[in-house]
Amino acid sequence: MINTLREHLSFDQANIIVESANEGKDLYMKGIMIQGGVRNANQRVYPVNEIGRAVKTLSEQIEGGYSVLGEVDHPEGLNINLDRVSHMISETWMEGDNGYGKLKILPTPMGQLVKTMLENGVKLGVSSRGSGNVSEDGSGEVCDFEIITVDVVAQPSAPGAYPTAIYEHLMNARGGMKAYELAQATKHDPKAQKYLKESLVNIISRLQ
């Protein structure tokens, strides 16, 4: 069964470098797109040969004139939503065990948002979006991997990577654990998020 696979890397994990060109008119993010040969936060392992093949395919698409567009945050599915596009991938390559990429920030509404945050020192991460098969033997090894794009994200990727102070306040607040568990259970359920929002507003008001 082909799965939609997302792997998130924070600004520091991806070794992001922000570069400008064309007298400051163009802005780029350059760094690791996906890590090979290690067990990641999602307990998946991408063999280096799988990463290399996927990166080569994506690079050939770019060199052939195909525009590989990326979005802001964590879109559902593998389709590209044009109203949320913030950048395009201008280059991909392998360096050691990892797949690297260079993202050109576009002058779209979402691209302007990303540019403003980067220029003001906000550390944004990246999230690869692709498809593949995950072994069912417990190894977490991925095969038949294909990179669709790389998105720009704000939230950290490490397991339990909520800012420590906020997480501790949430866990210690009355109803905090309930809200946390609800957040985990309703990530993709818009109907349930209304109650979650009300719960969080009440908790946050008690923290002030």
Give Cα separations from 79 to 96, 147, 192, 208 (angstroms). Answer: 30, 12, 24, 40
Measured from the Cβ of residue 17, the count of other Cβ atoms closer than 10 Å reads: 10
Q: What are the tens digits of pLDDT across the range 9-47?
A: 988 899 999 998 887 788 999 999 999 999 988 889 999
The residue segments making up the domain with residue 173 are 164-207
Structural domain contains residue 12: yes
Is 142 found in the same domain as 69?
Answer: yes
Is 202 found in the same domain as 107?
Answer: no
Q: Which residues contact 188 (CB under 8 A, 6 or more apart)?
A: 76
**This prediction's pTM:** 0.71
User: 7-16, 87-96, 160-169: lowest mean pLDDT where?
Assistant: 160-169
Is 93 found in the same domain as 191?
Answer: no
Q: What are the tens digits of pLDDT across the range 109-130?
A: 999 999 998 988 888 999 999 9
